[in-house]
Structure 1
């Protein structure tokens, strides 16, 4: 019970089986005679002394003081021990992350191979494969990102079902952030591949190369970039990109907690000595310098006011509704 309470106070996840195992190991070291109890002195020694002196607990011949901890010299065994403990403590997170990554990679590979065998590949090459693969992962993550923040659903699954034994529902916000990273990666692959590779290759394609593309872009070859941007797919995609950029930026810790501040502009002190006011400069240069300094202060004050007004939790909450 003490182990469970201590773990809860330190926000550690220790199951009943783990706590029983820890209690058994402690009793083996502090109760070598098998009395079934330990002295208060031993318990104080366990709780007060640093963990480096007690883990692993090795009793000396007189059974009073622990010896120095054993250090594993073999780096492979040391790595294996750390990996084993890590997997034992985080196996729920590991399998969820592995499943999510597998789905993303599978969707990307499926769309990549699909467009690899289409006529459009002859004109745009692997760029269109990467763009479509990124778009497929983007669609999946955009549909998934709201699920970890559905609190009623998460609470019901955690309290009414046995899924909590296998799924770390308490890490729902962290997984929501991981999905946001996946959205950023997918959007980056899709946008960069189109703008930097697909569209230039299509604009520079010959008439023979453009022939299979007429069913997608019309009989007349697009003349410039503006043709792609003014289309429905173009301007709606740019609007979505801007809205997501605003939502992602204001959701970061510095903006959400109002810790991303510009320094306040310094007010000019009229009581400064004349030689510190740059009066020794020529008249025109002096006026330009003073005008530039005042303009810089006004601009800094404007940014400072905007940050103060449009950051914080409310800004984070309302801009997140742009996702809908």
Structure 2
């Protein structure tokens, strides 16, 4: 057994995990300048070529609310479906569900904030109103033969209310389960997650809603996004969401910075002995390409530094004097 595999076994990590790329939606939604539809499609195609198989491709949301995603149908239609990829899209309401079904997505994601105040800021609805609306979304998706997944924003804290009780998380997951939604993503909307919170919430969901499949979505606002992934691995979580280059941030939450970077996540997982099926070099090249698209440096680190054992010639740097 090699060193990395031994480390994974020591901490009880799963042998393999799934990475869901959310850059096309969560990564771009708050960008002030419109990213060309062709670049959004190319982002997905490049990452699919690197081995990523699951994408949160866009959101069928009002163009007035999120102008960046006004090309949702065009993005879904333009992606190369010759590879075995899965495209999911956020749908805030029945109208979005109808549009997503017509576009031929593989899964729809409904989303609710654990805190009342953030839900009102995010979708301008009370939590109870959102949940009631999801019943129609589920009916539309079911008729179209499309699976529905559930996300819970502000799962680890709210920028307006502060601490979020774990009971709010399990209550929403139970409401999802009653609708037939058994895939639940815990969203760290403003980077308020910590390893103890991750462990607490994962354990509570497993105890209270054992039928639910748990995914984790972390932001790197306070610099411990990958530490929280480590905590999730220790809890046996096998689905993590990330964004190429570390793009992202919620436009309806003060101080929200980017998601954990996909290339950094892949690097850490591989070095911890966890398989992903993703080519680490190809994904760092995709991150470098994405910097060119955005016209600026992105927060991800692995694409800048390269592999751990990357070496340089001795004459590449000056020799110290004295």
The structure with higher relative contact order (CA 8 Å, sep 6+) is: 2
- Which structure's residues are more often strand, by fraction? 2
- Which structure's residues are more often helix, by fraction? 1
Same fold (TM over 0.5): no
Q: Which TM-score tier does this pair reach, normalised by the shorter chain?
A: under 0.3
TM-score w.r.t. the length of structure 1 is 0.21
TM-score w.r.t. the length of structure 2 is 0.21
